[in-house]
Amino acid sequence: MSVGDQVNLLISLLALANPLGNLPLFLALTQSEAVARRHRIALVSGLAMFVTLALAYWLGLAVLAAFSISLAAFGLGAGLIILLYGLVMVRAPEALLGYRGGQPGALEQRSPALVPLAIPLLAGPGSIARVMIARYHHTTLAAGLGATLVILVAAAFTVLVLYYADTLNRRVGAAGVSAVSRILGMLLMAVGFMGLAEALQRIWPALAG
Amino acid sequence: MTPGAAVQLFVSLIVLVNPALVVPVFLRLTAAGAAAQRRAIAATACVAVAAIFVVAALFGTAILAALEIDIAALRAAGGLLLTLMAIDMLRPPSAAPPAKDGAALDQSPAIVPIAFPLLAGPGSIAVVIGAAASYPGWEARGLIFLVIAAIALVCLAALLLAVPIYHLLGDAGLDVLSRLMAMVLLGVGLQMLAAGLGGLLPALAK
């Protein structure tokens, strides 16, 4: 796994988790909490993001094999999911901010750290697909440790952003958050197209020319 | 790099950047805002165009290599985005437009999609990267930066003129113009998408 692959994985995971874009939602979900508890929620959701993605990375392909889904078909689906995530981020960044998990009445007492923050916002179908693609490209132990480190860095960065949510939100503002989401969305669309093209070449080798 | 080559670079860039095509899209995206907010978006977009081209000239190949992103994939992504925008523009505007005249206009479309991929698209970025690669040396860089500054100024003029054009045409005229330009934009977007897919799947381009 080259350094370029690792940088691409890191940027993709950060774009998919989009901690900056999720700031307003994080603040809305935790507005009734004290600062100390808000910091704890940030830490727990980042930890859950790391565990989810690391599990998906190491065990995801085995699950696919158990359901006898071919890697090419999975890659096609993963590319499509990442492409559509990117498209939503570019075209309507505010649509992502409208997410409201579950019925407010019943769930209000529970901490939002795991659902909806960690899953599906920080580690959703897109990032799970992305780490599984990384796994089937490079299956050596060294690549595995490298990728796990990348996932850890992405989760740590996410925790850091959520930790300073208040300050960042005031500094960057809604327009800045939206602009960053659009740029990251454009990169995600390119990553999605690359995944799609690769899967199509696996399915129909003649396309590779 | 001779002055002639710089003029040639300017011409090929202005055709690819195509500020005239952006005017109706710009008006539609900023329909809800006051004139001052439109000017702010126009200025941001043009600064972003200059920044994108300068970064492309200085670090273009290195950045794409570091992110492991194929320029063909970026082209396909930009093409898909423009195609979808064109289809949106072809359809009649939604019956209930968000009525928020007093509210602050969202500044975020300035960079994506106005600066990228509408003005500084993958095609023009590739031209800048190519020019910077074929003319090394700081003297040539200076000329390339001059060309980029000229392009950004033309874009700024086009976007600032958009508001007077709007007053001239009125709502109905703008509607007609934007449908016509949407057809052109649809072609541009599909062409970009096709070129991107051809790069990603070489057998298709044979």
Consecutive H or E run containing B187 = helix B138-200
Contacts of B205 in chain A (CB under 8 A): 209
Find the range with the poorest average confidence among A135-144, B102-111, B137-146.
B102-111
* Domain count within chain A: 1
- pLDDT of B103 above 60: no
Contacts of A194 in chain B (CB under 8 A): 69-70, 73, 200
Q: Is B132 inside a domain boundary?
A: yes
Residues of chain A with pLDDT > 70, as a percent, come to 91
Compare CB distances from B203 to A83, A182, A208 and report the shortest one's residue.
Answer: A208
* Domain count within chain B: 1
Q: How far apart are CA B82 and CA B21, in angstroms?
A: 12
Q: Is B37 inside a domain boundary?
A: yes
State which residue of chain B sits closest to A87, comparing Cα positions. B81
- pLDDT of A170 above 70: yes
Tell me if chain B has a CB within 8 Å of the CB of A189: yes
Identify the top-confidence range among A176-180, B54-58, B123-127: B54-58
Q: Are B112 and A186 in contact (CB under 8 A)?
A: yes
pLDDT tens digits, B4-52: 888 888 988 888 888 888 888 888 888 777 778 888 899 999 999 999 9
Q: Is B170 inside a domain boundary?
A: yes
- pLDDT of A180 above 90: no
Query: Cβ–Cβ of A208/B74 closer than 8 Å?
Result: no
Can you give the residue range of the structural domain that contains A183? 3-208
pLDDT tier at B132 (50, 70, 90 boundaries)?
Answer: confident
Q: Is B99 inside a domain boundary?
A: no
Q: Is B100 inside a domain boundary?
A: no
| Cis, bond preceding B97 (omega within 30 deg of 0) | no
pLDDT tens digits, A78-105: 899 999 988 888 887 666 555 444 444 4
- ipTM of the complex in this document: 0.80
Query: Cβ–Cβ of A178/B203 closer than 8 Å?
Result: no
Query: Cβ–Cβ of B200/A183 closer than 8 Å?
Result: no
Q: How far apart are CA B93 and CA B106, in angstroms?
A: 19
Residue A189: closest CA among B202, B42, B122: B122
Optimal mutation site among A88, A130, A194, interface B, most CBs of chain B within 10 A = A194
pLDDT tens digits, B151-170: 999 999 999 998 888 788 88
pLDDT tens digits, A5-35: 899 999 999 999 988 888 888 888 887 888 8
State how far residue B133 is from chain A, nearest Cα, in angstroms.
Answer: 21
| Cis, bond preceding A120 (omega within 30 deg of 0) | yes
Q: Is B102 inside a domain boundary?
A: no
Averaged pLDDT score across all residues of chain A: 86
Q: Is B205 inside a domain boundary?
A: no
pLDDT at A109: 58
- pLDDT of A110 above 80: no
Query: Largest Cα–Cα distance of chain B, in whole Å?
Result: 55
Query: Cβ–Cβ of B112/A86 closer than 8 Å?
Result: no
Mean pLDDT within A132-147: 92
In total, chain B counts a number of residues equal to 206
pLDDT at A103: 42
Can you give the residue range of the structural domain that contains B124? 3-14+21-93+107-197
- pLDDT of B149 above 60: yes
Contacts 24+ apart (CB under 8 A), B124-130: B124/B13, B124/B16, B124/B17, B124/B53, B125/B52, B125/B53, B125/B56, B125/B60, B125/B71, B126/B71, B127/B9, B127/B12, B127/B13, B127/B16, B128/B13, B128/B53, B128/B56, B128/B57, B128/B60, B129/B56, B129/B57, B129/B60, B129/B61
- pLDDT of B121 above 50: yes
pLDDT at B100: 44
Mean pLDDT within B51-55: 92
pLDDT at A107: 47
Optimal mutation site among A14, A90, A91, A130, interface B, most CBs of chain B within 10 A = A90
Optimal mutation site among B83, B108, B197, interface A, most CBs of chain A within 10 A = B108
pLDDT at A96: 58
Q: What is the dihedral of CA B155, B160, B164, B166, to 10 degrees?
A: 70
| Burial grade of A205 (CB within 10 A; 0-12, 13-18, 19 or more) | exposed
Q: How far apart are CA B65 and CA B58, in angstroms?
A: 14
Q: Is B204 inside a domain boundary?
A: no
pLDDT at B104: 52
In angstroms, how far is CA A160 from the centroid of its own chain? 16
Q: What is the pTM of this model?
A: 0.80
